[in-house]
Amino acid sequence: MKRTSFFLTKLPLISVLIFYFFCLIAAFLYPGSEKEIINYKYDGYSISHNFLSELGCVKTNTDETNPNIIQEDNYSSMIFFNSGLILIGLTICLFYYHFNKFFKFSNDSNTTKKLAVITSIIGIISGFMFSGVGLVPHDVSFIWHVIFANGAFLFLFIVSIFHTITIYFSEKIQNIFSLGYLLFSIFLLIYVYIIFLGPKIGPGFIFNEEELMLQVVAQKIIVALFTLAMLSQVMAFKKA
């Protein structure tokens, strides 16, 4: 139970702090980018014009076809960002593996135990997908990077629903903590709609600056909300 407590209440907090610290370092080291289609160029990392995954690329500007646009090495930024993202993915896997154990050890209701098993399986898949985003930079394999990225948020949405229901039926955790994850699920549904049915950004797609900014800013907002939702569950398990 002590080990389970560590993976549910301590590791998520440690991993989130490391991830954001690594993101700041990666952003500081990022050499800049250019997007010819919207006539954009900036010598640094832009919160509104650069995806988070651009911090994890081997080189910059790999989506550009103009040979005059320089592709700079991005190894330093890549190492920090991808390491942080892989850590988050592993943390999600471990969190949901022990999520199931908590309700088993605490002898919660049979309904909660069954829901916890389903939640754990989907959560582990989501964590694996997040690690995959860090393991496969988008300039190494754009297709697999997109599969991992879209899959990560899709499975995260599904697990958020089951997570919310599990907490709601639990006899060991107060129902108020299911509300926070429910709100996150609603915002995540909006983001899933944006990434699947919104403007397409990437090699071969035509987009304008507003469409790029919509996708970029939405990504950062949902990542911030996810970390807050995760930390709210840390509080829930600590109280339990």
Other beta carbons within 10 Å of 10 = 12
d(CA 32, CA 72): 9
- Sorted by where each begins, the domain ranges of the chain are 2-239
Q: Within the chain, which residues score under 50 in pLDDT?
A: none
pLDDT at 222: 92
- From CA 145, how far away is CA 18, in angstroms rounded? 22
Query: From CA 22, how far away is CA 82, in angstroms rounded?
Result: 9
CA distances to 31, 32, 37, 53, 81 from 74, rounded to whole Å, are 7, 9, 22, 12, 11
Integer Cα distance of 74 and 96 in angstroms: 33
The CA distance from 89 to 127, in Å, is 4
Length of the chain measured in residues: 240
Instruction: Report pLDDT digits (tens) over 157-176.
Output: 999 999 999 988 888 888 77
- Looking at residue 206, its pLDDT comes to 85
- Residue-level pLDDT at 131: 94
Write the CB contacts of 201 (distance below 8 Å, at least 6 apart in sequence).
51, 207, 211, 212, 215
Residue 139: Cβ within 10 Å count:
21
Q: Residue 196: what residue type?
A: F
Q: What distances in angstroms separate CA 58 from CA 23, 44, 47, 128, one per listed residue?
A: 16, 16, 19, 21
pTM of this structure: 0.88
Contact 150, 195 (CB under 8 A): yes
The H-assigned helical ranges of the chain are 2-5, 11-29, 75-105, 110-135, 142-169, 176-197, 209-239
- 109-158 per-position pLDDT tens digit: 899 999 999 999 999 999 999 999 999 988 888 889 889 988 998 999 99
